[in-house]
C-alpha cells in the first residue's frame, strides 16, 4: 500500500488503470439508469444522486479551476435544518427541512435561476424516539409533474411539482406499522414507470412497497426484513429491469413490476449489534460494491446472463482491520476496476475491486474526524467532491493516487457532531451549477466556464 497524494501536473493526462475485462465487459448493460425518472431534462438532478442514481453528472462547459478560495453564490435562500439533499428539475429546486414551532416538516420549492420561493408545503410531525433529530433525510424525487416527499417519521406525500398541491398522501407508520429504526426513515423514493417505490420498513412483509404514482394505491409489497437507510436502485440483469434493495441484513433483487423475488444475498456479518447500511450500492459491469461503518466493505458478482448473485469478498468487518472504505453515511465511487471513498475517520482510500486490497490512502480530501463524510460525483474524467467542511474539490482519482486540481469553500458547515461542525447533505449538480444546503441556507453557485458571449458588457 502506498500513502499517496500526487501533485497535479497540468500537462499530464490521467492514466487509465489496467482494464479488467470481467469487470468492464458488461458496463453498458448493467447501468442503474433504466426508467427511474421519466421526462427529466438532460442536465437536471431530479432525484437522489442524479438522473440515474449513479452519482454521474453530464454537464458540459464547466470551469477547469475555481477562480478564488471562496465561491460566490448566484443566490442563497433560507432553509431550516435537515439532512435532505436538494434536487433540481424543470427549473425548480426542491428540498425538505424541519420546523420546531409547531413541530413539523416542510417541502420547499425554489426557482432554480433566482432562488425565489415558488411554494412551501408544511405538515405537522413530531419526532419520537429519533436519534439525530435534525430534520428529514430523504431527497425529493421529481417525475413528470409530480414531486414525492418522504419524511423522517414516514409521512409520504405526492405533490404537484409546480404548485405544491397535494395529490395524495400516506402516513406509512399508521398504515404499515414501521419497524422503527433509530435514525429515522431515510431512503429516497424511486419512480419506475407508473409506480413509486418506497423502502421504509413496514411490518408483515411490507419493508418495500410500490404505489401507483397517480392514485397512491398500493400495487405490491415485498420483503420481510427490517429496513436500512439505503435508497433502492434499478439495475439491468439477464435482460430484465431489476429493483435492488439493501435492507438491514441482505440485498434483495425484485421484479419492479410485481415485487417478485429474483434473488437474495446476505450482507450482515454479525449476529447482533447496530446496523448502519446507509450508502447506495454502486456497480460497474457485473460487480456490486457496498460499504457500511460496522460491516465494512463487500463486493458481489451480479451475473450477466442469469438472475443470481454471489459474494466475492469482504473487508473491514468485525475483527478485520484491513478494510479501507467503511464510511457511516456516504456512497463510494466505483470506476475502472477501482473503488474510492473514505473510511469512518476520513482517510480517503482506493481499493482494488478484484481483491479489496488497499492501493493507497490520502488524508488530504477531508479533515479527519469520526464519521467523516464526503460526497463524490463523477463528470467525465474529473471527480467533484463536497467534503463535510463545505469545501468543493475538483480532483482526478486513479490507482496511482489522489490528484487535486482545485479547491474552494462552497458552504459553511453548521451541524455540530463529534466536536466539529459538518455539512452532511448531498449536493445537486444541474444546469451548470452546484446546489448545496446546510441547516440555515441553500446556495447555488455557477460552475460554467465564462466565455466572451457570457460575460456582461
Alpha-carbon distance 194 to 218, whole Å? 12
Strand, coil or helix: what is 241?
strand
Of 92, 89, 189, the residue nearest 139 (C-alpha): 189
What is the pLDDT tens value at each position of the chain, 457 positions in all?
554 544 433 333 333 333 343 433 333 334 434 444 434 455 899 999 999 999 999 999 999 999 999 999 999 999 999 999 999 999 999 999 999 889 999 999 999 999 999 999 999 999 988 999 999 999 999 999 999 999 999 999 999 999 999 999 999 999 999 997 789 999 999 999 999 999 999 999 999 999 999 999 999 999 999 999 999 999 999 999 999 999 999 999 999 999 999 999 998 655 555 578 999 999 999 999 999 988 889 999 999 999 999 999 998 866 566 668 988 889 999 999 999 999 888 899 999 999 999 999 999 999 888 888 999 999 999 999 999 999 999 999 999 999 999 999 999 999 888 889 999 999 999 999 999 999 999 999 999 998 654 444 4
Would you say 95 and 442 are in contact if contact means Cβ atoms under 8 Å apart? Answer: yes
Alpha-carbon distance 152 to 103, whole Å? 13
Of 19, 119, 59, the residue nearest 429 (C-alpha): 59
Residues 6+ apart with CB under 8 A from 40: 46, 51, 89, 142, 143
Strand, coil or helix: what is 172?
helix
Which three cell numbers mark 204?
408483515
Residue with cell 464510511: 327
For 24, phi then psi, to 5°, come to -95, -5
Alpha-carbon distance 402 to 382, whole Å? 11
Amino acid at each position: 500500500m502506498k500513502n499517496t497524494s500526487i501533485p497535479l501536473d497540468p500537462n499530464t493526462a490521467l492514466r487509465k488503470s489496467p482494464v479488467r475485462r470481467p469487470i468492464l465487459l458488461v458496463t453498458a448493460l448493467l447501468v442503474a439508469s433504466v426508467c427511474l425518472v421519466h421526462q427529466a431534462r438532460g442536465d437536471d438532478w431530479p432525484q437522489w444522486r442524479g438522473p440515474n442514481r449513479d452519482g454521474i453528472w453530464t454537464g458540459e462547459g464547466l470551469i477547469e479551476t475555481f477562480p478564488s478560495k471562496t465561491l460566490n453564490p448566484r443566490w442563497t435562500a433560507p432553509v431550516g435544518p435537515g439532512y435532505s439533499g436538494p434536487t433540481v428539475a424543470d427549473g425548480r429546486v426542491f428540498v425538505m427541512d424541519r420546523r420546531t414551532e409547531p413541530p413539523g416538516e416542510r417541502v420547499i420549492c425554489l426557482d432554480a435561476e433566482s432562488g425565489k420561493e415558488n411554494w412551501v408545503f408544511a405538515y405537522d410531525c413530531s419526532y419520537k424516539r429519533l436519534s439525530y433529530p435534525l430534520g428529514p433525510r430523504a431527497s425529493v424525487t421529481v417525475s413528470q409533474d409530480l414531486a414525492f416527499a418522504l419524511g423522517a417519521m414516514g409521512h409520504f406525500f405526492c405533490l404537484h411539482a409546480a404548485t405544491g398541491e397535494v395529490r395524495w398522501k400516506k402516513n406509512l407508520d399508521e398504515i404499515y406499522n414501521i419497524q422503527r429504526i433509530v435514525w429515522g426513515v431515510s431512503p429516497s423514493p424511486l419512480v419506475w414507470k407508473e409506480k413509486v417505490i418506497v423502502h421504509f420498513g413496514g411490518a408483515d412483509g411490507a419493508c418495500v412497497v410500490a404505489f401507483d404514482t397517480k392514485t397512491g394505491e398500493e400495487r405490491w409489497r415485498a420483503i420481510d426484513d427490517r429496513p436500512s437507510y439505503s435508497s433502492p436502485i434499478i439495475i439491468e440483469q439477464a435482460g430484465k429491469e431489476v429493483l435492488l434493495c439493501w435492507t438491514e441484513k441482505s440485498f434483495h433483487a425484485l421484479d419492479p413490476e410485481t415485487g417478485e423475488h429474483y434473488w437474495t444475498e446476505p450482507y450482515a456479518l454479525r449476529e447482533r449489534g447496530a446496523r448502519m447500511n446507509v450508502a447506495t450500492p454502486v456497480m460497474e459491469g457485473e460487480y456490486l460494491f457496498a460499504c457500511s461503518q460496522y460491516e465494512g466493505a463487500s463486493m458481489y458478482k451480479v451475473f450477466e446472463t442469469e438472475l443470481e448473485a454471489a459474494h466475492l469478498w469482504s473487508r473491514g468487518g468485525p475483527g478485520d482491520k484491513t478494510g479501507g472504505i467503511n464510511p457511516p453515511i456516504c456512497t463510494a465511487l466505483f470506476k475502472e476496476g477501482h473503488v474510492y471513498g473514505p473510511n469512518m475517520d476520513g482517510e480517503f482510500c482506493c481499493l482494488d475491486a478484484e481483491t479489496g486490497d488497499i492501493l493507497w490512502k490520502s488524508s488530504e480530501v477531508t479533515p479527519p474526524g469520526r464519521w467523516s463524510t464526503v460526497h463524490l460525483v463523477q463528470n467525465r474524467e474529473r471527480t467533484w467532491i463536497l467534503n463535510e467542511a463545505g469545501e468543493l474539490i475538483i480532483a482526478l482519482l486513479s490507482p496511482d493516487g489522489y490528484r487535486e486540481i482545485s479547491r474552494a469553500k462552497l458552504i459553511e458547515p453548521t451541524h455540530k457532531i463529534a466536536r466539529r461542525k459538518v455539512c452532511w447533505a448531498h449536493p445537486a449538480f444541474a444546469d451548470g451549477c452546484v446546489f448545496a444546503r446546510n441547516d440555515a441556507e441553500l446556495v447555488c453557485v455557477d460552475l460554467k466556464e465564462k466565455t466572451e458571449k457570457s460575460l456582461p458588457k
